[in-house]
Amino acid sequence: MEEVKDTKEKEREDMEEVHEETEGSRTIQPWTQQITVRGVIVSILIGTVYSVIAMKLNLTTGWVPNLNVSAALIAFLFIRTWTKVVEKAGYTAKPFTRQENTMIQTCAVACYSIAIGGGFASYLLGLNRKTYELSGVDTEGNSAKAIKEPGLGWMTGFLFASSLQVMIVDLKLTYPSGLATAVLINGFHSQGNKSAKKQVRGFLRFFFDFSLTYVGAGMICSHLVNLSLLFGAVISYGIMWPLINRLKGQWFSEDLQESSMRSLYGYKVFVSVALILGDGLYNFLKILSFTLINIHGRLKDRARNRDEEDDRKKTAEDRKQNELFIRETIPMWIGVVGYVVLSIVSVVVIPIMFPQLKWYYVIVAYILAPSLAFCNAYGAGLTDMNMAYNYGKVALFVLAALTGKENGVIAGLAGCGLIKSVVSVACILMQDFKTAYYTLASPRAMFLSQAIGTAIGCVVTPLSFFLFYKSFDVGNPYGEFKAPYALIYRNMAILGVQGFSALPRHCLQLCYGFFAFAVLVNFVRDVSPHKIGKWMPLPMAMAMPFLVGGYFAIDMCLGTLVVFAWQKLNAKKAELMVPAVASGLICGEGLWILPASILALAKINPPICMKFLPS
């Protein structure tokens, strides 16, 4: 209850800040003028760079921070630089408005969201031969027929078939991330505001080209996330794996390769899966219950005419925002017709790509998707948690179990991607609508920006994936690009097909324990006082070092230490500058990835290589 009160107070403060920032002279352009050519060009540039960054993070650790605020900042930086260059050249530049800033941010986020959630480091990559071999060629349920190597053509087609269906939820919800982005954008465009210049300087000053991606990511992620990563690294690589490795010959054969799922590697994978499933199941049921209770309460309030009372309390700014959204709302028939047409295309195309996923399963998926998308978008609006991956995991287990041993793995992984994509896109769009609402941007322009960004992402993301796939040893458990989620998702599908017989000795008992631990930790966080609950680790964050290792947890904790010290020294300046500095750290390495990939393809190695070995 205390967390709910704190959230409401923070929301009220943010809304007051939005209203203060949005006062003054603002001319609102027609929605057709809010999307500009320069805006689309900048969106493509930002979306491409962030797609590469997100792909690298996905393929190395599988953990990607929320980059929305960073994208809004860089959009502002790009266009301000653009207008200054044009003006110095003697031309008149079109004014840069907060509406255009919002459109660029929306388009860029839609683009790189495909890289984050398109499955290139999880359910799609889990289909390739290397992941099949890592899962154990002799593992029951891991069929040799369940292999589909990555291909630019079918991956791009799958993205277009599964990512363009958009559901719109017409309800007044909080969407904290969308609200926070709106506050930031309005702050950039406030008259006489010097903070934007400070943020731009901070971005450029910390635009390094060192391996500081994880330090920047640690600055964006909360202290709890970073400390949970460190806790997971200590528990796994500091305690558990050395102890289990001593039992070689008792729990598993000494003759097995280290990468075998019957050896220590199997414990790493399945304990990670147990933590992820425990955390996901608990939050899935919690958000679903919270959503149903809240909907029931809203229906009661509507019966008591509570909405009319709320309308009377609205400020002039609220009425202005409502008027704009009502005037430029998207007709229902466009959404219905678009969804039906795209669903028909998917029902035809997806079974051709994946014959194991029968057409009638695809039809059922698209019939259920609107309800699932509604529940997810509604839950995210209340709690700021996008549970699309958990809906996808449910689909994975159901389809893998229904389809059988030969085809279950491919059907489960493909079906997981289908459900997850439709459910996630609706949630992302609703977050962006919240941002548009508070920046007085048109919902029509926002919807079109989302569609443009998604289409660009469907082209850019496969290219960014193959940039890594052709240049580096992706999927090597001992290399830099481990792609941990590919192995995790394939083994989830194997569990769905085969059951617990796929687990190594005593692994089931460990999985039970960590599954229960994940549920218990979440429960204690929710029911205990805030002073106790805030110290409970996040099982989802803990799970990553169990498989990947603890190296990146140290980097991210360094980032959180910088933020903590900065907040102690100057909290107001830290709140302003942390997103800018973190963006500079992340983007520096992101831009270096392209030349690094070209050098790797050309087989050009660094002149000096340093390695530390145990004595």
What pLDDT is attached to residue 517?
94
Tokens standing for residue 5: 């009160």
Which residues span the domain enclosing 523?
A: 35-599
Spell out the residues 6+ positions from residue 409 whose beta carbon is closer than 8 angstroms to its own. Answer: 127, 141, 142, 143, 146, 400, 490, 493, 494, 497
Number of neighbours of residue 411 by Cβ within 10 angstroms: 29
391 and 376 in contact (C-beta within 8 Å)? yes
Kindly state whether residue 309 falls inside one of the protein's structural domains: yes
Q: How many domains does the chain have?
A: 1
In this structure, which amino acid lies at residue 313?
Answer: K
- Over range 113-131, report the average pLDDT: 89
Percentage of residues in the chain with pLDDT exceeding 90? 6
What pLDDT is attached to residue 179?
55
**pLDDT category of residue 206 using cuts at 50, 70 and 90:** very low
Nearest CA among 575, 600, 343 for reference residue 473: 600
443 and 387 in contact (C-beta within 8 Å)? no
Kindly state whether residue 8 falls inside one of the protein's structural domains: no
Which comes out higher in pLDDT, residue 600 or 451? 451
Tokens standing for residue 520: 């218990």
What pLDDT is attached to residue 286?
84
Kindly state whether residue 606 falls inside one of the protein's structural domains: no
Answer whether 0.75 is exceeded by the pTM.
no
What pLDDT is attached to residue 166?
55
Q: What is the chain's Cα-based Rg?
A: 24
Q: What is the mean pLDDT of the chain?
A: 77
- Over range 440-456, report the average pLDDT: 85
- Over range 405-434, report the average pLDDT: 83
Kindly state whether residue 251 falls inside one of the protein's structural domains: yes
Kindly state whether residue 30 falls inside one of the protein's structural domains: no
**pLDDT category of residue 459 using cuts at 50, 70 and 90:** very high
Tell me the pLDDT tens digit for each residue of 34-60: 888 888 999 999 899 889 888 988 888
What pLDDT is attached to residue 169?
47
Residue 495 has pLDDT above 90, yes or no: no
Name the region of 569 (left: φ>0; alpha: ψ -120 to 50; beta: rest): alpha
Kindly state whether residue 118 falls inside one of the protein's structural domains: yes
Residue 168 has pLDDT above 60, yes or no: no
**pLDDT category of residue 177 using cuts at 50, 70 and 90:** low
Residue 22 has pLDDT above 50, yes or no: no
Tell me the pLDDT tens digit for each residue of 54-69: 898 888 877 777 777 7
Kindly state whether residue 397 falls inside one of the protein's structural domains: yes
Residue 317 has pLDDT above 90, yes or no: no
What pLDDT is attached to residue 514?
92
- Over range 583-597, report the average pLDDT: 64
Tell me the pLDDT tens digit for each residue of 220-232: 778 888 888 889 8
- Over range 528-546, report the average pLDDT: 85
Kindly state whether residue 330 falls inside one of the protein's structural domains: yes
What pLDDT is attached to residue 577?
75
1-5, 208-212, 238-242, 318-322: which is most confident: 238-242
